[in-house]
Amino acid sequence: MDDVDGLRVRYRPALTMLRNLQGLPPAIEEAVAPEHMPDRRAHDCDAGASDRLDLHIAASDFAGMNTIRSICVYCGSSAGRDPSHLAAAELLGTAMGEAGIRLVYGGGTRGIMGAVSDAVIRAGGEVTGIIPRFLIDMEATERELKRLDELIVTADMHERKHLMFERSDAFVALPGGIGTLEELIEIMTWGQLGRHTKPVVIANVGGFWDPLSSLLDHMRDEGYIHTAHQVRPMVIDQVSEIVPALLREARPEGDTVDAAIIQRM
C-alpha cells in the first residue's frame, strides 16, 4: 500500500477480495472488473509465481470509500503449546501481505509475533515493529529487527502502545498472554469511552478467547459494561475471514479520534 499514490495490488487473491467488496467507487469497480483487467504480472517474479500482479489504483479513486491500510496485531512473543496458533499467525500474515495491508505490531521476532511478521514479509507486505528498548533482547535481536521495513524503538510501554494505536486502522488479537490481554482490553476500553471507532477483532483460534467472551458477557449481565454497544469486538473463529471482515467494517474516511485524550490514557 502506498499512502500517497493509492493502492498497489500485488497478488491475485487481493484482486479477488476487492471484487467481492460492496460499495466500491465506480472507478475502482471498472479497474478491477475481469473484462477490463489485463494480465499485468510483475516481470521480476519467480516463474511459478502466477498470482503476482502489479495493478495500481489511484488514491483519488478511493474518495468516500472506507479503507484499512494497516492492522495492529496483538499476540504472544512465545509460540505457546498449540501448533494451530502459529499456523493462524502465518495465515493472517499471508492474507495481510497479499492484500497490501501493513502490519503494525510489537516488534518481536520470536513466537507468534515472529510468525505473523515473517508471513507478511514473505507475502510481499510491509511491517512496522514498535518495541521498547528494554524488550529488544527479550523478544528480538538488533540483527533480526533489521528485516523489518520500519523499526521504532520507544522509551517505554506507554509510548509503544500509543504509537501502535496511531499507526493502525484496525486491531486483531491472536492468542497470547497477559500482555496481549492487556493490550486488547485497553483498546476496547478506549472504544467504550468513545475515544475511537476503529474495528477490533478477536481471533478466537480453537476457542482460545472463549473464557474472555464469557467474562465480558458476565460483566455485561451484571451491569458493569454500561455502553455495551461500544464494546463490540468481532469474534471470528476462522482466521481466513478476518481480513475480508475488516475491509467490510472499515470506519469512514474522516472519522477521527481524540488523540490528546488517548495520549493521556
25 and 93 in a common domain? no
Rg (Cα) of the chain, in Å, rounded?
19
Enclosing H/E stretch for 143: helix 142-145
Residue 48 belongs to domain spanning: 6-62
- The residue from 23, 40, 62 where one domain ends is 62
Taking the C-alpha atoms of residue 139 and residue 78, their distance in angstroms, rounded to an integer, is 9
Same domain, 140 and 173: yes
Same domain? 135 vs 245: yes
**Which of 20, 42, 62 is the C-terminal boundary of a domain?**
62
Residue 134: name the closest of 163, 154, 117, 151 by CA: 154
Query: In degrees rounded to 5, what are phi and psi of residue 79?
Result: -85, -15
229 and 139 co-located in one domain: yes
Residue 83 resides in a domain? yes
5-21 confidence digits (pLDDT tens) = 455 555 555 555 555 55
pLDDT of the residue at 185 = 95
- The verdict on residue 47 lying in a domain is yes
Are 115 and 211 part of one and the same domain? yes
pLDDT of residue 20: 52
Per-residue DSSP letters for 33-91? -GGG------TTS-TT-TTEEEEEEEGGGGTT-----EEEEE--SS--S-HHHHHHHHH
Tally of residues, the chain: 265
In a domain, 216, yes or no: yes
Structural domains counted in the chain: 2
Q: What is the CATH number of the domain that holds 236?
A: 3.40.50.450
Is it the case that residue 159 has pLDDT exceeding 70? Answer: yes
Residue 1 lies in a domain: no
What residues contact residue 239 under an 8 Å CB cut-off, 6+ apart?
88, 91, 92, 95, 203, 205
Residue 175 lies in a domain: yes
Residue 8: which H helix or E strand, with range? strand 6-11
Span 120-139, average pLDDT: 89
Asked if the structure places residue 54 within a domain, the reply is: yes
| pLDDT tens digits, 71-108 | 999 999 999 999 999 999 999 999 999 999 999 999 98
Asked if residue 29 is part of any domain, the answer here is: yes
